[in-house]
């Protein structure tokens, strides 16, 4: 007779077979990372530029990124979009504080034609007045809509106070961004940060050597000369503020502090602590605030990484009447981690869970490449994950408690609520 | 081509096995043939509330998530108007833990009062977060009952109103489980690097003794054919006027479903689409516009939605929009345009089949529609579509009398 109360025997991940990408030097500073082992027709390529939000003022990086395919003196934006669609390309552009990235998904037979359409359109972008005006109106509308969301209001005030000591990192969009933009400023930014700003190229797909060679030839003209400088010392402004939003039925909470990234010796173990607190479905915060109290649909904690720094954040949307109760419970959960040792069963569970998730993050060529890139950005490689596996097997309850005491100091937190 | 094997247990459970030797992960996907369309109008939001309760412990296992996390896995679920789908992704050597957990909650739930109380609150917060506390968040709560008169698609999966969730009782919950959660009403797909014999053995081991139950008969109110244009304007504290044109379309199993899908792409999928080019780039009436289909199993909707530019009126929009629709109904599409739509569909399908979880989910969905192998026939169906098909279909679908229009009027001052 089947005993349904007993869990089947478990095995733990002890080793993951990481597959390194092939690395080509476009120049000594700018590399192309290539993952060939794709068992189907799909391809992806990413172009990274030193054109993140910190590189310009008053929304210039955002506008430049959005206008890359807005037309040349020969071709309208609609013609360019037609060409991309006729080749089955799905393009995404991503902009973060420190980088701008263009990603194209397509079938491998269309990879080079798409690369040429894209580079031609970008290289000759004319920043036509009509396109710029249209974009400003669209962005303004999107901005006004975002300002209706408590999550956006909280996030933006949080960013301001989190990066408090750096003017450029703490800069957030304001309505005047959308009133007027100097086309010459856009052009100058484009020339410096795109046409002379390529910092990295990534290609995933079952492509031959000629294709890679041609990719390097095509993109060589854009490479950035010299290294990129990023902020190393940033301090957040501790303390709590509330942003009033009439008629909101929920309150958004964002709280956290400046921390570190993968290069810090506490990183791996802190990620275990972060998972326990708020980074999986069974986390302390989810168990207490969602599954026990029912205050929210979701609550989570995370670590975000920049080139030289990182930050820790807890984010949630809760019923407006339980904002203070939620903050109290978050505080209680952090204090528990600082005063009580985690039980062996819970730590085992976290270890097994994280190992399983790492295995999943290395499943397939696309995931494998992303995992690699996430280390490469910090000058690391797959050795980082091999060490992480080792650290997971040796971490102790005492170490977790000590890290909570060291890094989760309530009085150091920036706390923002909006609702 | 996606290979699979299919077998049925004596209790009626349909099992699909999909082998993939390249992955270290396994997927266990369970589709229950129950969605919001199976609810009664007085107790809406139940299928979705129930999905939450499925994580609140089963008859022999007090906690669903912890054992799965201990096995290195994770799980989630979603509810639509048509189905409820649960999935687990975990390292393949721990497959049995997922089967143990999923089979036990198919057998019976814990039904603890605490779980019901808490999940009621969680769902109410979800209702607020996604539908009430977002600009335009309640649009589908308005559009559905406007577009549908009789069919249960007239309410959203979250439910018609919060009170239905607040008033859910344990008896309601138990009755819902009895009726819909049994092997004959489920399709299971196991995917990963396994042998068929092994899958047969472990699936039979964990699911074989679950009583079969009875597949509930589904008799839904028929939606009467729409014969006249319907329109409603709501006023909201949002920054911009927004519009939603919804056209009734054929059901999922009808071959012309795919033709309407391509029509929606032609109208408003990409920046090269007709509505985008005409209404945004040329006439500058809208700031954004898209067209898509709801993908429903019964008669769904082709929706055109977007936002007006400052200073533009709904009347200007209406004239320009119908011009584009009329053009589609009057002149055959060029081969070039059709080819452009097709390469996007082909590329998208290749990417969507990259992932093991997607393949497992799609196999279950196609099995529900009649045959899992439908997943391999889809490309051919799209390929066979001609400009003539599109012309005929557009005349049939894109009629004013088949249209429901919801306008959201901004009460904010122009800024």
SS3 annotation, B132-164: HCCCCCCHHHHHHHHHCCCCHHHCCCCCCCHHH
> Tokens 């999107």 belong to which residue?
A142
Q: Counting beta carbons within 10 angstroms of the beta carbon of residue A277, is it exposed (0 to 12), middle (13 to 18) or buried (19 or more)?
A: buried
Q: Does B410 touch chain A (CB under 8 A)?
A: no
Question: Quick one: pLDDT at residue B133?
Answer: 83
DSSP string over B311-361: T--HHHHHHHHHHHHHHHHHSPPPHHHHHHHHHHHHHHHHHHTTSHHHHHH
Does B23 contact A363 at a Cβ distance shorter than 8 Å? yes
Best residue in B347, B357, B358, B379 for a mutation probing chain A (most A CBs within 10 Å) = B347
Q: How far is CA B386 from CA B253, B272, B337, B346, in A?
A: 19, 19, 11, 16
CA A311 to chain centre: 12
Return the structure tokens found at A140.
């303004």
> Tokens 């309850």 belong to which residue?
A397
Cα B264 from Cα B281, distance rounded (Å): 18
B27 Cβ neighbours under 8 A, 6+ residues apart = B87, B88, B89, B189, B190, B191, B192, B356, B357, B360
Count CB atoms within 10 A of the CB of residue A41: 16
Closest to B73 in 3D by CA, of A272, A273, A281: A281
Buried b (16+ CB within 10 A) or exposed e, B362-374: bbbbbbbeeebeb
Would you tell me the crossing angle of helices B335-352 and B256-268 to the nearest 10 degrees? 100
Interface of A with B in 311-340 (CB under 8 A): 317-319
Best residue in B271, B279, B290, B346 for a mutation probing chain A (most A CBs within 10 Å) = B271
Cα A362 from Cα A368, distance rounded (Å): 5
Q: Strand order in B301-308's β-sheet?
A: B230-236, B403-410, B242-248, B301-308, B286-293
Q: How far is CA B34 from CA B39, B45, B142, B377, in A?
A: 9, 12, 23, 25
Identify any residues that bridge with B242 across adjacent strands, giving them in sequence order: B307, B408
Cβ atoms of B20 and B356 within 8 Å: the answer is yes
Mean pLDDT of the A33-58 span? 96
Q: How far is CA A269 from CA A280, A382, A407, B394, in A?
A: 16, 17, 12, 59
Per CB-CB distance under 8 Å, the chain B contacts of A111 are none
User: Which among B90, B93, B132 has the least Cβ separation from residue A249?
Assistant: B132
Q: Counting beta carbons within 10 angstroms of the beta carbon of residue B187, is it exposed (0 to 12), middle (13 to 18) or buried (19 or more)?
A: buried
Question: Quick one: pLDDT at residue B405?
Answer: 98
Q: Is the pLDDT of residue A49 over 80?
A: yes
* CA dihedral angle for residue B205, residue B209, residue B213, residue B214, rounded to 10 degrees: 50
Q: Does B175 touch chain A (CB under 8 A)?
A: no
Does A141 contact B71 at a Cβ distance shorter than 8 Å? no
Q: Which helix (H) or strand (E) holds B199?
A: helix B196-207
Cα B54 from Cα B365, distance rounded (Å): 20
Class (C level, CATH) for B5-207: alpha beta
Cα A69 from Cα A121, distance rounded (Å): 6
Integer distance in angstroms from the first to the last C-alpha of chain B?
Answer: 54
The HSE-up count of residue B376 (CA atoms within 13 Å, CB side) is 7
Return the structure tokens found at B177.
């489980």
- For residue A228, give the DSSP letter: P
Cβ atoms of B363 and B372 within 8 Å: the answer is yes
Q: Does B126 touch chain A (CB under 8 A)?
A: yes
Cβ atoms of B236 and B408 within 8 Å: the answer is yes
Question: Quick one: pLDDT at residue B414?
Answer: 52
> Tokens 């904002």 belong to which residue?
A323
Q: Does B237 touch chain A (CB under 8 A)?
A: yes
DSSP reduced 3-state for A342:
coil
Mean pLDDT of the A193-213 span? 97
C-alpha Rg value of chain B to the nearest Å: 23
A390 Cβ neighbours under 8 A, 6+ residues apart = none
Q: Does A279 touch chain B (CB under 8 A)?
A: no
User: Which among A41, A248, A366 has the least Cβ separation from residue B133?
Assistant: A248
DSSP reduced 3-state for B244:
strand
Cα B204 from Cα B211, distance rounded (Å): 13
Phi–psi pair at B32, nearest 5 degrees? -100, 135
Q: Strand order in B14-19's β-sheet?
A: B5-8, B14-19, B186-192, B25-32, B84-91, B74-79
Return the structure tokens found at A207.
């492509």
pTM to 2 decimal places: 0.94
Cα A334 from Cα A413, distance rounded (Å): 12
Query: Of A283-292, A362-371, B118-127, B292-301, which range is least confident?
Result: B118-127
pLDDT tens, chain B, 415 aa long:
999 999 999 999 999 999 999 999 999 999 999 999 999 999 999 999 999 999 999 999 999 999 999 999 999 999 999 999 999 999 999 999 999 999 999 999 999 998 899 889 889 888 888 888 888 999 999 999 999 999 999 999 999 988 999 999 999 989 999 999 999 999 999 999 999 999 999 999 999 999 998 899 999 999 999 999 999 999 998 989 999 999 999 999 999 999 999 999 999 999 999 999 999 999 999 999 999 999 999 999 999 999 999 999 999 999 999 999 999 999 999 999 999 999 999 999 999 998 999 999 999 999 999 999 999 999 999 999 999 999 999 999 999 999 999 999 999 865 4
Closest to B23 in 3D by CA, of A220, A346, A16: A16
SS3 content of chain B, % helix, strand, coil (to 5): 45, 20, 35
User: Which among A4, A39, A137 has the least Cβ separation from residue B309?
Assistant: A137
Return the structure tokens found at B252.
């999922």
Which pLDDT band holds residue A243 (cuts at 50, 70, 90)? very high
Does B72 contact A356 at a Cβ distance shorter than 8 Å? yes
Count CB atoms within 10 A of the CB of residue A388: 20
Taken as a whole, chain A contains a residue count of 419
Q: Where are the domains of chain B?
A: 5-207, 230-410
Q: How far is CA B143 from CA A173, B137, B146, B316, B404, in A?
A: 33, 11, 5, 22, 8
Does B69 contact A352 at a Cβ distance shorter than 8 Å? yes
- Is the confidence metric ipTM above 0.90 for this complex? yes
In sequence order, which ranges of A38-88 are alpha helices (DSSP H)?
Answer: 60-66, 77-86
Say yes or no: do domains B5-207 and B230-410 share a fold. Answer: yes
Q: Is the pLDDT of residue A384 over 90?
A: yes
Q: Is the pLDDT of residue A223 over 70?
A: yes
Best residue in A77, A144, A326, A358 for a mutation probing chain B (most B CBs within 10 Å) = A144
Question: Quick one: pLDDT at residue B415?
Answer: 43
Cβ atoms of B112 and A300 within 8 Å: the answer is no
Please give the interface size between A and B, counted as residue pairs whose CB atoms are below 8 Å apart.
202
Return the structure tokens found at A223.
């490479």
User: Which among B75, B94, B271 has the least Cβ separation from residue A10?
Assistant: B94
Architecture of domain B230-410: 2-Layer Sandwich (3.30)
User: Which among A141, A149, A359 has the least Cβ separation from residue B91?
Assistant: A359
Domains, chain A, ordered by start: 22-222 (3.30.830.10), 239-418 (3.30.830.10)
How near does any CA of chain B get to the CA of A259, in Å? 27
Per residue in A246-262, pLDDT (tens digit) is 888 899 999 999 999 99
């Amino acid at each position: 007779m089947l005993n349904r109360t007993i869990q089947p025997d478990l095995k733990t991940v002890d080793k993951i077979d990481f597959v390194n990408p092939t690395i080509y030097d476009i120049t000594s500073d700018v590399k192309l990372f290539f993952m060939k082992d794709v068992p189907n027709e799909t391809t992806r390529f990413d172009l990274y530029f030193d054109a993140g939000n910190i590189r310009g003022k008053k929304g210039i990086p955002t506008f430049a990124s959005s206008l890359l395919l807005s037309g040349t003196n020969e071709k309208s934006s609609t013609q360019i979009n037609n060409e991309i669609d006729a080749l089955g390309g799905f393009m995404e552009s991503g902009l973060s504080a420190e980088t701008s990235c263009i990603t194209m998904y397509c079938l491998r037979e269309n990879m080079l034609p798409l690369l040429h359409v894209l580079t031609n359109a970008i290289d000759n972008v004319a920043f036509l007045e009509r396109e710029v005006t249209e974009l400003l109106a669209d962005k303004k509308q999107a901005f006004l809509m975002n300002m209706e969301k408590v999550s956006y209001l909280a996030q933006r005030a949080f960013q301001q106070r989190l990066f408090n000591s750096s003017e450029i990192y703490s800069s957030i969009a304001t309505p005047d961004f959308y009133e007027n933009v100097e086309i010459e400023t856009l052009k100058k930014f484009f020339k410096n940060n795109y046409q002379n700003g390529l910092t990295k190229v990534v290609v995933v797909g079952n492509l031959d050597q000629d294709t890679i060679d041609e990719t390097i030839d095509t993109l060589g003209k854009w490479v950035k000369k010299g290294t990129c400088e990023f902020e190393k010392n940033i301090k957040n402004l501790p303390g709590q503020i509330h942003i009033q939003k009439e008629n909101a039925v929920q309150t958004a909470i964002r709280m956290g502090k400046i921390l570190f990234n993968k290069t810090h010796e506490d990183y791996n173990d802190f990620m275990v602590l972060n998972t326990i607190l708020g980074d999986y479905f069974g986390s302390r915060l989810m168990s207490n605030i969602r599954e026990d109290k029912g205050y929210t649909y979701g609550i989570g904690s995370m670590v975000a990484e920049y080139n030289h720094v990182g930050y820790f954040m807890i984010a949630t949307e809760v019923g407006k009447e339980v904002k203070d109760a939620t903050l109290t419970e978050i505080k209680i959960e952090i204090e528990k981690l600082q005063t009580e040792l985690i039980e062996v069963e819970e730590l085992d569970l976290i270890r097994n869970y994280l190992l399983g998730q790492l295995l999943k993050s290395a499943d397939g060529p696309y995931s494998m490449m992303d995992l690699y890139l996430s280390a490469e950005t910090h000058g690391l490689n797959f050795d980082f994950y091999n060490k992480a596996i080792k650290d997971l097997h040796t971490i102790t309850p005492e170490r977790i408690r000590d890290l909570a005491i060291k890094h989760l100091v309530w009085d150091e937190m920036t706390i923002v609520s909006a609702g | 081509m996606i290979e699979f094997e299919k077998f049925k247990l004596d209790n009626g459970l349909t099992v699909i096995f999909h082998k993939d030797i390249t992955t270290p992960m396994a997927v266990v996907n369970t589709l229950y043939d129950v969605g919001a369309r199976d609810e009664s109008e007085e107790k809406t939001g139940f299928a979705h509330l129930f999905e939450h309760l499925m994580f609140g412990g089963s008859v022999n296992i007090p906690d669903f998530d912890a054992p799965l996390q201990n096995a290195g896995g994770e799980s989630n679920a979603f509810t639509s108007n048509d189905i409820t789908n649960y999935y687990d992704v975990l390292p393949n050597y721990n497959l049995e833990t997922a089967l143990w957990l999923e089979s036990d909650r198919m057998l019976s739930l814990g039904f603890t009062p605490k779980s019901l109380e808490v999940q009621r609150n969680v769902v109410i917060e979800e209702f607020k977060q996604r539908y009430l506390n977002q600009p335009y968040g309640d649009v589908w709560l308005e559009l559905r009952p406007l577009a549908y008169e009789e069919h249960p698609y007239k309410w959203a999966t979250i439910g018609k109103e919060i009170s239905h969730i607040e008033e859910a009782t344990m008896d309601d919950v138990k009755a819902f489980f009895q009726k819909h959660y049994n092997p004959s009403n489920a399709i299971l797909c196991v995917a990963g690097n396994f042998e068929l014999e092994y899958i047969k053995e472990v699936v039979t081991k964990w699911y074989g003794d679950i009583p079969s139950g009875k597949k509930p008969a589904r008799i839904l109110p028929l939606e009467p054919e729409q014969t006249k244009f319907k329109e409603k304007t709501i006023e909201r504290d949002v920054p911009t006027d927004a519009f939603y044109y919804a056209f009734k379309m054929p059901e999922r199993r009808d071959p012309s479903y795919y033709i309407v899908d391509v029509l929606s792409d032609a109208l408003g999928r990409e920046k090269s689409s007709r509505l985008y080019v005409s209404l945004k780039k040329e006439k500058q009436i809208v700031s954004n516009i898209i067209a898509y289909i709801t993908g429903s199993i019964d008669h769904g909707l082709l929706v055109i939605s977007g936002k007006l530019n400052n200073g533009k009126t709904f009347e200007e929009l209406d004239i320009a929009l119908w011009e584009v629709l009329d053009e589609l109904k009057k002149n055959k599409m060029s081969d070039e345009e059709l080819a452009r739509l097709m390469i996007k569909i082909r590329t998208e399908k290749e990417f969507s089949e990259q992932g093991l979880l997607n393949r497992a989910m799609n196999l279950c969905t196609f099995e529900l529609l009649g045959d899992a192998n439908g997943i391999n026939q889809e490309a051919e169906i799209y390929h066979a579509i001609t400009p003539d098909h599109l012309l005929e279909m557009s005349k049939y679908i894109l009629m004013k009398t088949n249209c429901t229009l919801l306008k959201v009027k901004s009460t904010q001052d122009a800024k």
